[in-house]
Amino acid sequence: MSVIADPDKLRQLATKLKNAGQQIEQLQRQAMGALQSSGWNDRERERFEAELSQDLKAAATIGRKLQNDYPKTLERKAKALDDFRR
């Protein structure tokens, strides 16, 4: 059986995914903060905010996966590769 992966590169990828997830969270906060401070206050804004909030929830799901799920998988794989190579 051959191993075609570098555990260190998998760990680097995990770190990059975590950082991307954190950036998504930061952008979500910035977007909602900008909307709140825009001074816009009418029915169209309410509809806009509802749609934006829904989209940001979807982005939050992706952000959580990038910060938690995918890195855990990569870290498990890296550990398994380290163990296999010993």
| pLDDT tier for residue 2 given thresholds of 50, 70 and 90 | low
CB 22 within 8 A of CB 67: yes
Average pLDDT, the chain: 95
Task: Check residue 46 and give its pLDDT.
Answer: 96
Which residues, at least 6 apart from 53, have a Cβ–Cβ distance to it below 8 Å? 32
Burial class of residue 66, CB neighbours in 10 A (0-12, 13-18, 19+): buried
pTM for this structure?
0.86
Break the chain into its structural domains and give their ranges. 43-86
Task: Check residue 57 and give its pLDDT.
Answer: 95
| 30/21 Cα distance (integer angstroms) | 14
Rounded (10°) angle between helices 70-85 and 7-36: 170
